[in-house]
Amino acid sequence: MKLLLSLFILAMSHSALAAENPAVVMETSKGQIIIELFPDEAPKTVANFLAYVQKDGYKKTTFHRVINGFMIQGGGFSAKTGNKVDTLPPIQNESRNGLSNERGTISMARTGNPHSAARQFFINHKDNAFLDANGGNWGYAVFGEVTLGMDVVDAIAKVKTASADKPVQPVIINSIKLLDREMK
């Protein structure tokens, strides 16, 4: 009985800690996605992402790269013009934070330079452990996880794409807003 009570208390304390993490609501043309952010594990990455959220920097951007069974990538191109949107300076890669690129996690997109992530992100459509840091190789920094709306991620992952994995019909990020704790 003591073990059961201890496990219950441990589970309750974990969920209480998780409730302290910020969360965002991503409104897309395919539906709503709620993402819990992990500032303890990826403080610079979360702060960077929230800087864009707070200035409405993801409003009317697109998921410009979609690969079913891999990931959906967005946040860097205007839905109106198709052009890249302005970025803040790149951030330090936090891929060595103990989090893995598992289905439903959100990570920073970057170039071959491990410290080049600025605003683009991707949501893992399946487990992609090969994107994790290992040995001397930098990975892609996980900084949150979808808590509601994986059906929307699945729907986006299944859209028809053309060259460069670009959706034929744009998938628009209408907005990303900080979730009010009372709404949770």
Tell me the CATH number of domain 24-183, given options 3.50.50.60, 3.40.50.300, 3.40.1190.20, 2.40.100.10: 2.40.100.10
Domain positions in the chain: 24-183
Other Cβ atoms less than 10 A from the Cβ of 3: the count is 7
Prediction pTM value: 0.88
Provide the residue-wise pLDDT of the chain in tens; the chain has 184 residues.
444 444 444 444 444 445 689 999 999 999 999 999 999 999 999 999 999 999 999 999 999 999 999 999 999 999 999 999 999 999 999 999 999 999 999 999 999 999 999 999 999 999 999 999 999 999 999 999 999 999 999 999 999 999 999 999 999 999 999 998 554 4
- The contacts of residue 2 (CB under 8 Å, 6+ apart) are none
Give percent helix, percent strand, percent coil of the chain, each to the nearest 5.
25, 30, 45
- The contacts of residue 132 (CB under 8 Å, 6+ apart) are 95, 100, 101, 139, 140
Phi-psi region of 104 (alpha: psi -120 to 50; beta: other; left: phi over 0): left
